[in-house]
Amino acid sequence: MIIKNNSNRYLKLLIFTFLIIFSSSFLTAQTNGNDEKEVIISTSRFSDSVHHWYDIHDDGNIINPVSNQPRYKETEIYKIADNILLYQRDNGGWPKNYDMQAILTIKQIDSLRRTKNILHTTFDNSTTYTHIQYLAEVYTLNKIEKYKEACLRGIRFVLSAQYPNGGWPQYYPLENNYSRRITFNDGAFIGIIEMLKKIVDNDQIFSFVNENLRKEVRIAYDKGLECILNCQIVDKGRLTAWCQQHEETDLKPAWARAYEPPSICNGESADIVLFLMDIDHPGQRIIYAVQSAVKWFNDSKIYHTRVNIVPAPAERSQWTTSTTDRIVITDSLAPPIWTRYYELGTEKPLFCDRNSKFLYSLAEVSRERRSGYSWYTYAPQIVLDNYPEWKKKLGH
């Protein structure tokens, strides 16, 4: 019995010692430097810029990726946040098409530091408003001042970039090209106003924003919402949807890039309508805007059509190398689909090319643009799926 009791005590002591060592190691791993905490802040918001940096060469970039550029893990949030600070320009905004997770070389870091005064800052490709939100989330976790200050500078940049009519350009400071237009393309306007809405709604990640700045944000948000409603296109005597870009003066549909014509744009419009549907206690004007857009989406459905991506001989352009093509086929089982563009006045499906010529089928578009751009979309279906619940919420 004595031997057995001693053995039991020894076993318990051994287990206890092991647990202390294991717990100590675990706690050390959790607290040894901020980056080792298993906290993830999603970097998917930067995916469009990441794709452009690695896959589309641009001599105009401040830096370009090196071969096999290493990347931080998504859990290394402070190193990613420090990269975001490094990319922030002197005016508080950010340039597009870089990888916030890239482990930069000394030469790359030096180039970014030496060019802080280059103000090619933008909201395109999910830029600036995503960086602001990431920094806000990091600051909420650690209360390190440098992240808050950079975030506040970013918010002030957004406010300074807004037009008096409530719209935002694609680039600010303003440039002498289509980027001056009010830009819904690729979610720019909606990305900005959704970020401002978080501040207006007292989202906890922006709890550090003081009352004076919060009031400025509220004014900017209200002006932005008014601009959205004012931009909705009246075509053939009825309210429809929105264009990718609108004139910054009279708000009319405008050209963007050479293959992005003034038109009714269903892809961008779907995100706008979803934003409007997310507003609590909407006024009658917002309700009518949503109802009109939903009717347009129903009226502009295309049936029995599917777009297939097929292998194709490699074709190199100055922008990229394509190894696929896109073809439109008839399929009686295909769900409804929409073209990205509908011609103003005729409301026919519309396509275009780098020569800005209007085309009326995908097959007429050059291979480079046909395979390198999204000409069809299912985005309006998301709106239609959510519409019954939205009406129910309103009591209709």
Residue 314 maps to which CATH number? 1.50.10.20
Residue-level pLDDT at 37: 53
Q: What pLDDT is attached to residue 74? A: 97
Which 8-state DSSP code applies to residue 302? Answer: B
Decide if 10 is inside a domain. no
If asked whether residues 264 and 192 sit together in one domain, one would say no
- Specify whether 59 is located in the same domain as 88: yes
113-152 confidence digits (pLDDT tens): 999 999 999 999 999 999 999 999 999 999 999 999 999 9
4 within a domain of the structure (yes/no): no
CA distances from 184 to 160, 214, 252, 289, 301 (A): 18, 24, 13, 16, 21
Range of the domain at 194: 26-231
Is residue 359 located within the same domain as residue 374? yes
Encoded tokens for 257: 């890039």
pLDDT above 90 (res 257):
yes
Instruction: Judge whether residue 22 has pLDDT over 90.
Output: no
41-88 pLDDT tens trace: 999 999 999 999 999 888 899 999 999 999 999 999 999 999 999 999
Q: How far apart are the first and last CA of the chain?
A: 80
The tens digit of pLDDT for each residue in 153-188 reads: 999 999 999 999 999 999 999 999 999 999 999 999
Q: Is residue 15 part of a domain?
A: no
268 touches 242 (CB < 8 A) = yes
Alpha helices in the chain (DSSP H): 2-31, 47-55, 77-87, 106-114, 129-142, 145-161, 188-200, 211-231, 266-277, 284-299, 367-372, 379-394
Domain assignment of residue 6, yes or no: no
> Is 21 within a domain?
no
Q: Which of 212, 231, 250 is where one domain is finished?
A: 231
Q: What is the CA radius of gyration of the chain?
A: 26
Please state the rounded mean pLDDT for residues 228-243: 98
pLDDT in tens, 304-325: 999 999 999 999 988 788 899 9
- The residue out of 231, 249, 266 marking a domain boundary is 231
- Total count of domains within the chain: 2
Regarding whether 227 and 239 lie in a shared domain, the answer is no
- pTM > 0.85: yes
Same domain, yes or no, for 318 and 335? yes
Residue 56 lies in a domain: yes
CB count in 10 Å sphere of residue 312 = 15
Shared domain check, 379 and 267: yes
Q: Dihedral of CA 20/22/26/31: which sign?
A: positive
Q: Are residues 209 and 334 in the same domain?
A: no
Rounded CA-CA distance 336/338 in Å is 7
Rounded Cα distance, 199 and 211, in Å = 10
Boundary (domain end) residue, out of 178, 206, 231 = 231
CB atoms within 10 A of CB 56: 12
- 279 and 200 belong to one structural domain: no
**Residues 224 and 253 placed together within one structural domain of the fold:** no
Are 38 and 174 in a shared domain? yes
| 188 & 139 share domain | yes
Tens digits of per-residue pLDDT, 77-89?
A: 999 999 999 999 9
Are residues 119 and 160 part of one domain?
yes
**Residues 163 and 195: beta-carbon distance below 8 Å:** no
